[in-house]
Amino acid sequence: MERVSRRRLLAASGGAVLASGLIAQGASAQADKPRRSPWDLAFDVAIDPAPGAVAGTPPPAGAYYSSGVIYAAGTLGGDGSVPSGARPIGTQRGWGWRFDPSRPGPAGQVATASLEIAGRGQIVLGGATIGGRRAILGGTGEFRGANGQADIVTLGQGRNRWILDYTQPYAGT
């Protein structure tokens, strides 16, 4: 019978432990892989004009707050008009700092916005809008753990379509 030294035994068992740990880590990484939304979620948002706002003139620089009504995508007309009988599905709230009023729409601001969808949860967005996109920071309810980006398409004065492309890393937990 061949004699095995303790050193060889420890080396062999350490390698086996390391290999099993790497295999388990790989399996765990696949189980924790973020789930991508199977579709782009989109909403139409009609933001109320700020008190004293004059249509067609850029808003002043500085702090601001906005709120509006959320509708299902496709509810607003191509010009941003709200048809009679349109059913709201939530509320949009935004606050931030407008640093360059000469830039169109949300491009000259840093902001946080929440989309509160009745009975479903809340989606929180934030940062600067670059190239018509804003970061999705998180959410609650069915949007818990969401992250990604929102494309903001202008339909008219204070009227936008928000197309959300997100993943849910904590889905089902």
Q: Are residues 27 and 44 in the same domain?
A: no
Q: Are residues 26 and 98 in the same domain?
A: no
Angle at 159 between CA 87 and CA 124, to 5 degrees: 80
Task: Look up the domain containing 14 and give its range.
Answer: 1-33
Q: What is the pLDDT of residues 137-160, one digit of tens each?
A: 999 998 888 889 999 888 888 889
Q: Are residues 41 and 119 in the same domain?
A: yes
Tokens of 4: 């095995």
Cα–Cα distances in angstroms (integers) from residue 2 to residues 5, 8, 10, in the given order: 10, 12, 16
Q: Are residues 14 and 88 in the same domain?
A: no
Report if residue 135 sits inside a domain: yes
Q: Are residues 54 and 67 in the same domain?
A: yes
Tokens of 158: 């204070």
| Beta pairing partners, 1 | none
pLDDT at 61: 83
Report if residue 156 sits inside a domain: yes
Report if residue 173 sits inside a domain: no
Q: Are residues 17 and 94 in the same domain?
A: no
pLDDT at 60: 79
pLDDT at 93: 95
Q: Are residues 11 and 61 in the same domain?
A: no
Instruction: Note whether 71 and 43 are within 8 A (CB).
Output: yes
Instruction: Note whether 112 and 135 are within 8 A (CB).
Output: no
3-class DSSP assignment, residue 28:
helix
Q: Are residues 116 and 157 in the same domain?
A: yes
State how many domains the chain has. 2
**Would you list the DSSP string of 37-104?**
PSS-EEEEEEEPPPTT--TTSPPPSEEEEEEEEEEETT-S-TT----TTPPP-EEEEEEEEE--TTS-
Q: Are residues 1 and 41 in the same domain?
A: no
Q: Are residues 29 and 40 in the same domain?
A: no
138-143 contacts at long range (C-beta below 8 A, 24 or more positions apart): 141/117, 143/117, 143/168
Q: Which residues of the chain have pLDDT under 70?
A: 1-40, 56, 104-107, 169-173
Q: Are residues 8 and 66 in the same domain?
A: no
Tokens of 98: 């407008």
- Rounded Cα distance between 67 and 94, Å, is 6
Q: What percent of the chain has pLDDT over 90?
A: 32
Q: What is the pLDDT of residues 38-49, one digit of tens each?
A: 446 889 999 887
Q: Are residues 83 and 128 in the same domain?
A: yes
